[in-house]
Amino acid sequence: MTTRIDAKFAELKRQGRSAFVTFVMAGDPDEKTSLEIIKALPKAGADVLEIGMPFTDPMADGPSIQAAGLRALKGGMTLRKTLEMVRGFRKDDDTTPIVLMGYYNPIYIYGVETFLADAKAAGVDGLIIVDLPPEEDTELCIPAMKAGLNFIRLATPTTDDKRLPAVLANTSGFVYYVAVTGITGSAAADSKVVGAAVSRIKRHTALPVCVGFGIRTPEVARAIAESADGSVVGTALVDALKGSLDAEGRATARTVTAVADLAASLAQGVRGAKQAAE
């Protein structure tokens, strides 16, 4: 079964260009503004949307994304409301792939079968669950695949050739390569190192490889897009959002455009990689 993710990467391959993948936190800084931002991102050039599911203990996230999750939770965001946002987005856009990214605990509490049915019905295409290793595939990964959702795995600089086949075993949609060791937003990605890592992963899989963590500028996004099938930007967009808020942390007239304008410049960086590579 072809998902929106599969269709999007096939289309980009025909166009000969890399994907621009954006990450924002559901409900940050509030439900209404968050939906407006998500709707604005494809118009700004995002090919795939990653939406964070707010969680109280986000161990892989750096300070910016942790703060975004806390703002969302403070505003009353829940997993159920996150799915409602996806449903709201799908009223106007039935083609842009949506990946929910987060932790297993909220899904476990929601109920795995119910969550997968509700996520699929809302228009979710894939999941990235950072705290479920391949050894736990029966918990969520296999049921998600049976429900028609891609289960996207993270590979890191410490994932060696011995470990990689286990990481890739039930992965679908794309592989998410974490360009820097550590938490999100902690360091800049080195395109040469990333290029070698992407080549190594591609020796083990035919799936697209997208690179995230450490991409903050159009220049870095462009350099990464030379070798990877996609560049993922999260922290920089979340920081742009935060910078637009008022003293009480509420959205202002600038909030949606602050995120969309940065996304547009990053998208141009990614799209520039095709011309540079030709």
Q: What is the CATH number of the domain that holds 193?
A: 3.20.20.70
Domain that holds residue 204: 4-273
CB count in 10 Å sphere of residue 262: 22
Active site residue 246: no
Condensed to tens digits (0 to 9), the pLDDT of residues 111-147 reads: 999 999 999 999 999 999 999 999 999 999 999 999 9
Please tell me the total count of domains within the chain. Answer: 1
Question: What's the pLDDT score for residue 127?
Answer: 98
65 occurs within a structural domain: yes
Condensed to tens digits (0 to 9), the pLDDT of residues 244-257 reads: 999 999 999 999 99
Among candidate residues 8, 38, 32, the one with its CA nearest the CA of residue 237: 38
31 occurs within a structural domain: yes
- Of 6, 28, 31, 61, the catalytic one is 61
Active site residue 50: yes
Q: Are 17 and 278 in contact (CB under 8 A)?
A: no
Tokens of 61: 């996230």
Cα separation, 177 vs 21, whole angstroms: 13
The residue written with tokens 């509420």 in the block is 250
Question: 276 pLDDT band (50/70/90 cuts)?
Answer: very low
CB count in 10 Å sphere of residue 53: 26
Condensed to tens digits (0 to 9), the pLDDT of residues 169-198 reads: 999 999 999 987 665 666 667 778 889 999
Cα separation, 267 vs 40, whole angstroms: 13
- Of 6, 28, 47, 50, the catalytic one is 50
Q: At residue 10, does pLDDT exceed 90?
A: yes
39 occurs within a structural domain: yes
278 occurs within a structural domain: no
Condensed to tens digits (0 to 9), the pLDDT of residues 204-222 reads: 999 999 999 888 999 999 9
Question: What's the pLDDT score for residue 167?
Answer: 94
